[in-house]
Structure 1
Amino acid sequence: MNQPLAYIHPQAKIARNVVIEPFSTIHKNVEIDEGTWIGSNVTIMEGARIGKNVKIYPGAVVSSIPQDLKFDGEETTTEVGDNTVIREFVTVSRGTIDKHKTVIGKNCLLMAYVHIAHDCIVGNNCILANAVQLAGHVNIDNWAIIGGSSAVHQFVKIGAHVMISGGSLVRKDVPPYTKAAREPLSYSGINSIGLRRRNFKNEKIQEIQEIYRNIYLKGLNNSKALDIIELEMPPSKERDEILNFIKNSDRGIMKGYKN
């Protein structure tokens, strides 16, 4: 690998067929796996662990020091999964003493100007549209999509297969399989289109709809709704995932929509 116009620290571990375009900087304690492409003017800082076939576009900064005043120089990492695409001017901070890592899963798309702060965990197959901003300690499960210019409060959890409207202020946890929109952010139905695209059967979609009717559309408080779901609906992977998500929500879940 001959990159005369890129700076690569001699201690960085770069697979042989990685392409690093001119004017990019690769710091020490960085690992980049096979087939990855690093565009021009990219900065990969200490602690980065970049998977296979990742594409990082010009201006991106990966594994920068956290924007957290409590950070005291501890050795932490940023992990980027295989086949993920990081577009122009995305910034990703490495972890702090809390989780010691920031993680972006496989097959994700981070569009231009996304910011992922320290200790965030982003699952596989997630899409963060342009200028989405994640504060620290945010957890996003697999297959979630967040619309452009949305801002996610620190410690928020976003469930699997969620669709969040562009421009949203996400202050509360968003349960799996739902759509979220309006201000303040509210339940807007289940993500039935996304579920069908991912080969969920109609019966399963109807089961998820019935679960959320109890939670959001019958005027019940959360504890009463969960009791009814546990008593009246047979156990399933999706039912239990929703119940566990809500029971373990520290910030509370988004509210139902009211006119």
Structure 2
Amino acid sequence: MASIHSTALVDPAAELDGSVTVGPYAVIGPRVRIGAGTTVGAHCVIEGRTTIGRDNRFFQFSSIGAAPQDMKYAGEDTELLIGNRNTVREFCTFNTGTVQDGGVTRVGSDNWVMAYVHIAHDVQLGDHCVLANNATLAGHVHVGDWATIGGLSGVHQFVKIGAHAMIGFQGHVAQDVPPFMTVDGNPLTARAVNLTGLRRRGFSAERQAVIKQMHKLLYRSGLTLAQAQQGIEALKGTQPEADGDIDSMLSFLAAAERGIVR
């Protein structure tokens, strides 16, 4: 049996692994499924059609799986999916999806989510991301793996943030942020390559050099975006171990719908 505090309210229809811990005054709804080793802190509310994986930790007072803050929402059956080993600090709000998108808000695994973070409807958050205090992701935002979003930053709806990108403190993110880049300010400006993050993740000097060249083509050469993309394509084969990074950048740029931060 799960360890459920006597003051918690857990609907009998909820599916909790026997190793789940539920703290005082938490409320868990009938359509919630929680995997092994997950801890739900005091006063958390987990509702809606919400599926949570293994070994997550939800600190006190978070609201997980509530209906989307979208005026078009009319009670459709949408869901929230959360992976494994995420840390979710105090007063976070994660909403379910909408039928205007795929109907699913998705949070990956191994993310570090600090206090007061908002993850809106249909957000797709990757793995190993860091969201600092009060970061706010509006509806339909996509965030790649290993991205970092600084405190008090706001991300506009439908924006895409590439893998390994870093958003600085109080970033006003209204356009897509390419992979590997560090951006900050209001208006948002691309500053440099996120070298600190890449080094921490074991990127070789050769891969870093190619990513620096992509940054130069995008931001320091006076090229149009189309010309920069051609230059990035031409880098393929110069350092074969970086070809995957080049493909990631080209795929991101081809899919950018709001324009990129430049």
Query: Is the TM value for this pair above 0.5?
Result: yes
In structure 2, what is the equivalent of residue 164 of structure 1? 167
Q: How far apart are residue 232 of structure 1 and its match?
A: 4.8
1:145 counterpart residue number: 148
Q: Does 1:249 align with 2:256?
A: yes
Comparing 220-229 with 233-242, greater Cα deviation is found at 233-242
Distance in 2, Cα, partners of 1:178 & 1:230 = 18
Runs of 5+ in structure 2 lacking a partner?
A: none
d(CA) in 2 for partners of 1:46 and 1:246? 35
How many Å separate the matches in 2 of 1:94 and 1:244?
Answer: 27
What do you get for the CA RMSD once the two structures are aligned?
1.0
In structure 2, give the amino acid aligned to 1:49: T
Once the two structures are superposed, the pairs formed by residues 89-104 of structure 1 within 5 Å of their partners are 89-97=91-99, 98-104=101-107
Instruction: Give secondary structure in 2 for the equivalent of 1:187.
Output: strand
Match 1:227 to one of 226, 230, 247: 230
Tell me the alpha carbon deviations over residues 221-250 of structure 1, each in whole angstroms, 9 at most, x when there is no partner: 100111122235437100111011111100
CA apart distance, 1:3: 3.1
Shift in Å, 1:155: 0.1
1:13 matched residue in structure 2: 15
Q: Which of 200, 203, 206 is the equivalent residue of 2:206? A: 203
| Equivalent-residue separation in structure 1 for 2:58 and 2:179 (angstroms) | 29
From 50, 62, 65, the equivalent of 2:64 is: 62
The answer to whether structure 1 residue 76 and structure 2 residue 83 are counterparts is no
- What is the total number of aligned residue pairs between the two structures? 255
Aligned to 1:86: 88
Query: Which digits, 9 at most, give the CA deviation of each residue in 1:65-122, with x for residues without a partner?
Result: 0000111111111111110011000001101111111111100011000000000000
* Offset of residue 182 of structure 1: 2.2
What amino acid maps onto 1:244 in structure 2? S
Residue 238 (str. 1) matches residue 245 (str. 2): yes
Residues 180 and 194 of structure 2 are in contact (CA less than 8 Å); yes or no, is this contact kept in structure 1?
yes
Question: What is the CA-CA distance between 1:41 and the residue it aligns to?
Answer: 0.2
The one-letter code matched in structure 2 to 1:191 is N
Where structure 1 has 5 or more consecutive residues not aligned to the other structure, the ranges are none
Verify: 1:37 aligned to 2:39, yes or no: yes
Misfit runs of 4+, over 4 Å: none
Q: Check the 8 A contact 2:172/2:185 in 1, yes or no.
A: no
Q: 1:163-209 deviations in whole A, cap 9, x for unaligned? A: 11010100000000110012211111101110010000001000010
CA distance in 2, matches of 1:245, 1:171: 16
Aligned residue identity for 1:9: D
Aligned counterpart, 2:117: 114
Which residue of the partner structure matches residue 55 of structure 2?
53
- Separation in 1, partners of 2:205, 2:71: 49
Q: Distance in 2 between matches of 1:244 and 1:33?
A: 34
Amino acid at match of 2:91: F
Q: Matches of 1:233 and 1:125 in 2, distance apart?
A: 27
Aligned-pair identity in percent equals 38
Partners of 1:198 and 1:151 lie apart in 2 by: 26
| Worse-superposed segment, 37-46 or 225-234 | 225-234
